[in-house]
Amino acid sequence: MKIVAVIPARLGSTRLARKPLREILGKPMIQRVYEAAHASGLEDVLVATDSTEIQELGKRLGMRVEMTSAECQSGTDRVREVAQKIEADAYINVQGDEPLARAEHVQALVALMKRAEIKVGTLKTPCPVPDVNNPNAVKVVTDHDGRALYFSRATIPHDRDFAGGVRYFKHLGFYAYQKAALEAFPTLPPSALEQIERLEQLRFLENGIPIYVAETPFDTIGVDTEEDVKRVEDVLRRDRRA
């Protein structure tokens, strides 16, 4: 089974300028993500970008880079464009702003996609207490087979009677797609729930395409601000992963 890990990266972030090239403890963010994906054991790992600057950095560091259109509106669009050039059974989207990505994240998705019935996969991790009521930390609930029932910025499930002991799970923005599901996504109209929550994965659920969710103990911090950079560096220092 051929699986390709794709790391979408663009320079045009509005909240943190030149984000993929931002150094984190001496390494560009995109390099940290690439090294984590490559450590998973997958042979096919590449960066998808429309930036010649990222392309040149990749060449210097020995990273495989595929140029994609500047018209891509999302990381999913970049992965889909790569899928039109490179044939594979499944594609893993490893976000370029996840410098705490680990080989284990990719390996968990690879294990999911080896099950023929799974068209779309993603990850969850036990939700840290500060993130339970944080709308920027997306929560997910699943059924007994690991299929996502819903993703929300709200605190779900809701502990109506304040019974306590509720297990909350945070969604991590790593995805895996069979090619057919990846091709189908842009043909589906943006769904009502997707637009309300601002969560594009809800488009799959509203159109009856199940998303299977693997659990990982390894949380991440998506980087959007200077404060996020500091938090990531603190974690790396603490874990001695610098």
pLDDT in tens, 113-149: 999 999 999 999 999 999 999 999 999 999 999 999 9
pLDDT in tens, 97-111: 999 999 999 999 999
Does 211 have pLDDT greater than 70?
yes
Which of 6, 29, 34 is closest to 224 using CA atoms? 29
The span from the CA of 49 to the CA of 70, in Å, is 8
Burial 12-47 (b: 16+ CB within 10 A, else e): ebeebeebbbbebeeebbbbbbbbbbbebebebbbb
Which pLDDT value is given to residue 241? 55
Question: What are the respective helix, strand and coil percentages of the chain, to the nearest 5?
Answer: 35, 25, 45
Whether the ω angle into residue 157 lies within 30 degrees of 0, i.e. cis, is yes
Domain count, the chain: 1
Does 14 have pLDDT greater than 80?
no
CATH assignment of the domain containing 35: 3.90.550.10
Tell me the backbone φ, ψ of residue 193, rounded to 5 degrees.
-65, -40
The alpha carbon dihedral of 215, 218, 224, 227 has a sign of positive
The span from the CA of 201 to the CA of 168, in Å, is 19
- Among left, alpha and beta (phi > 0; psi -120 to 50; other), residue 154 is beta
Sequence-ordered list of residues with C-beta below 8 angstroms from that of 116, at least 6 positions apart, any chain:
none
Tell me which residue range forms the domain holding 231: 3-239
Parallel, antiparallel, or unpaired: how do β-strands 148-152 and 139-142 relate?
A: antiparallel
The span from the CA of 242 to the CA of 237, in Å, is 6
pLDDT in tens, 41-99: 999 999 999 999 999 999 999 999 999 999 888 889 999 999 999 999 999 999 999 99
The span from the CA of 195 to the CA of 80, in Å, is 21
**pTM, rounded to two decimals:** 0.93
Task: Please report, for residues 32, 40, 200, 214, 238, the alpha-carbon distance to residue 217 in angstroms, rounded to integers and kept in the order given.
Answer: 19, 16, 24, 10, 17
